[in-house]
Structure 1
Amino acid sequence: MTDMTDMRASVVVPCYSEKRWEQLKAAVASAWAQEPRPERVVVVVDHNPALLERAARELTGTTVVANASERGASGARNTGVEHTTSPFIALLDDDATARPGWLAGLLAPFADPSVVGTGGAIAPAWERGRPGWFPDEFLWVVGATYTGMPTELAPVRNVWSESMAVRREAFLAVGGFRVGFGKVGERARPEDTELCLRMGRPGNGYGGGRWMYNPAAVIDHFVPAGRSTFRFFVTRSANEGRGKIEMARLNPGQESLGAEQSYARELPRAAVRALLSGRVGRSFALVAGAGAAGVGAGYEWAFGARRPKAMEPAVA
């Protein structure tokens, strides 16, 4: 088990596109600026030789490696963890910046030895401003903290990989992220939730444990203009519905979709409240988002079983 007097942490940042170069530099700088200072910041380049060469040349003091697994953020994050030795690993996306206190906030709950992982709050940084119709309950569509999440330190089923910390030994014991299951292209598979379920389950090779959410650990996550359209909103909601059914097939049991079922029961009430307060656009978006997620889930339930179930974790 982890020596609780040893709170050393490293930060892993996956990346894949030179178009995000300035954002990547900002993400890395924000990681190095944390207190406590990370033991190591590892940038993992996902099958992009030109970006790999540039990052290795310009990100001085930072460990830069190529994704040794198949394309995708899951394999990249696994590769990054393999290049660390600290007992705790924090994950940060290349289009996000960590605010002061982020790493300390993620590490604090690990004082409890039953905690295997933590996550923090994610604030959307809209490129062109937030659309007036965009519901608070659907901010997860753009990878941000949404209404319904805890407002103080609390146990949760899962957190998100763009702002996550794990016990390295627990992460390795379950095999890391399930390679091939993450967000590739237009598909949205919840690789972070799937990992949280496996790490939290007893008999997983480590012993299981709790996940904690600390809203005091905050990152700002860039939301490009293309993700603030209604078309993206509906498409992303449908893909999330499909992805959650895929996840449930890999992790049978009530805990797989229990949180989603509770969330879905709240959406009609939220739509009514928005309508009564004169926010017709938000009310319509709540209905449309819920409907799209339901259609996606139904499609995956009816036809998805014909596809191969799965992909073994990559980390030994």
Structure 2
Amino acid sequence: MNAPVPSPAALRLRDVSIILCTRERPDMLRGALAAIAAGTDPEVEVIVVDSASTDSRTREVALQAGTRYVRTDTKGLSIARNLGLDSSDRPIVVYTDDDCSPTPGWIEALLRAFEDEQITVATGRMLDHELVATDVPPTERIVYRSAVRGLDAGHGAVMAFRRDVLQTLGGFDDTLGAGRYLAGAEDLDIFCRALAAGGTAVFVPDSVVLHVNTRNPVAYRRLMRGYGLGLGALVGKWWRLSPKVGARLTATLAVRSGRRLARSAKNRGRGARDELAMVEGILRGYLRSRHLRLSGSTFVDEHPPTPIRLPAVPRPADSPS
């Protein structure tokens, strides 16, 4: 049942659900939930979405922290994010990740953005967890209105939406994101779609999460290739939805990739190999997208992953009368 949407000025902390999707990382989840508890008002609902973990540890951590726990047996970050969306009845949904530690005031900063009734998406800053306050450069609030600017609007580590708008858009594209072959860009895809539908996004620098990088060089290169696969599919999608937008997205990515490759080659670092992995991913993702059917502005998920089902959790025995 959908809750009525309060007027912008009437939005309160109790109107917010935090949705944290996770898979097979109970220790990181425990840290993220501790940071949320330390820096977030208890009126804010926290929903942990288990993306087809193969054991019960995620459930145990979520319940020990006093959060709502829901599970999907089909892995995929977008699938999990959509389950979180369907599990909330609050007007504002905020997404973060299990490798991020939100800082105090992050929710309040996002909520203030929605006092402007034109704002449908708000994003914040993701910083390396080893930075100290003096290392953080000043950043200004930025407003985005065109579909192409969705590439710059933010990232999935800290993003907030009006729930009704996100539902109207059809949620996240199930075929994009971690856990799928097209393993990235589900966040940029929804930003582009929201802006193309007439929405407005705003970057809120005062909403900050600290990110912990746990990947070695090989895993990071795999991550970059996955991002590229998703970006390539995003571009391929827009060539079909709007060739004008598709052309602008293609040009933007080509220029940026070229610049990053040139810088990496000049510095003779491993960054060049990472950039090449992303470019390879973009090309493969674009080619893959040409074989996917579209339904509205999302790809049809014709081959979802095989469900991973856990044994039913036994219910406590009835107390003797």
1:94-113 paired onto structure 2 within 5 Å: 94-113=98-117
Partner of 1:31: 36
Question: What is the rounded CA distance, in whole Å, between the counterparts of 2:260 and 2:176 in structure 1?
Answer: 31
Partner of 1:45: 50
Question: What is the rounded CA distance, in whole Å, between the counterparts of 2:177 and 2:39 in structure 1?
Answer: 28
Question: What is the rounded CA distance, in whole Å, between the counterparts of 1:84 and 1:303 in structure 2?
Answer: 33
**Is the counterpart of residue 292 in structure 1 residue 292 in structure 2?**
no
| Structure 1: gaps (5+ residues) | 130-148, 203-207
Question: What is the rounded CA distance, in whole Å, between the counterparts of 2:29 and 2:80 in structure 1?
Answer: 15
For 1:236, the aligned partner's letter is: L
Question: What is the rounded CA distance, in whole Å, between the counterparts of 1:71 and 1:273 in structure 2?
Answer: 36
For 2:300, the aligned partner's letter is: M
Partner of 1:165: 160
Contact 1:32 1:38 in 2 (8 A): no
For 1:247, the aligned partner's letter is: L
SS in 1 for 2:26: helix
Are residues 191 and 266 of structure 1, via their aligned partners in 2, closer, same or farther at CA, if it must alter by over 3 Å? closer
Partner of 2:71: 66
Are residues 245 and 185 of structure 1, via their aligned partners in 2, closer, same or farther at CA, if it must alter by over 3 Å? closer
Residue from 183, 188, 196 that aligns with 2:191? 196
Question: What is the rounded CA distance, in whole Å, between the counterparts of 2:287 and 2:63 in structure 1?
Answer: 49
**Bigger-Rg structure (1/2):** 2
* % identity of equivalent residues: 21
Question: What is the rounded CA distance, in whole Å, between the counterparts of 2:236 and 2:119 in structure 1?
Answer: 26
Residue from 72, 76, 100 that aligns with 2:80? 76
Are residues 300 and 173 of structure 1, via their aligned partners in 2, closer, same or farther at CA, if it must alter by over 3 Å? closer
Partner of 1:152: 140
Contact 2:177 2:230 in 1 (8 A): no
Question: What is the rounded CA distance, in whole Å, between the counterparts of 1:274 and 1:306 in structure 2?
Answer: 33
**Is the counterpart of residue 54 in structure 1 residue 54 in structure 2?**
no
Contact 2:257 2:279 in 1 (8 A): no
Deviation at 1:290, TM superposition (A): 4.0
Q: TM-score, normalised by structure 1?
A: 0.74
**Is the counterpart of residue 88 in structure 1 residue 78 in structure 2?**
no
SS in 2 for 1:86: coil
Are residues 184 and 112 of structure 1, via their aligned partners in 2, closer, same or farther at CA, if it must alter by over 3 Å? same
Contact 2:128 2:212 in 1 (8 A): yes
CA deviations over 1:61-90 (Å, ceiling 9, x no partner)? x111212x7321212122222222221111
SS in 1 for 2:39: coil
Aligned CA RMSD, in angstroms, stands at 3.3
Contact 2:235 2:249 in 1 (8 A): no
1:228-239 paired onto structure 2 within 5 Å: 229=217, 231-239=218-226
For 2:279, the aligned partner's letter is: G
SS in 2 for 1:217: strand
For 1:223, the aligned partner's letter is: N
What number of residue pairs does the alignment pair up?
Answer: 276
Question: What is the rounded CA distance, in whole Å, between the counterparts of 1:53 and 1:41 in structure 2?
Answer: 14
Question: What is the rounded CA distance, in whole Å, between the counterparts of 1:35 and 1:234 in structure 2?
Answer: 34
Question: What is the rounded CA distance, in whole Å, between the counterparts of 1:290 and 1:274 in structure 2?
Answer: 8
Contact 1:14 1:46 in 2 (8 A): yes
Residue from 27, 30, 37 that aligns with 1:22? 27
For 1:155, the aligned partner's letter is: V
CA deviations over 1:82-138 (Å, ceiling 9, x no partner)? 222221111111121101121122222111111111111111347xx9xxxxxxxxx
Partner of 1:116: 120
CA deviations over 1:148-196 (Å, ceiling 9, x no partner)? x993110232322221111111111112112232221664231111112
Partner of 1:242: 229
Contact 1:90 1:164 in 2 (8 A): yes
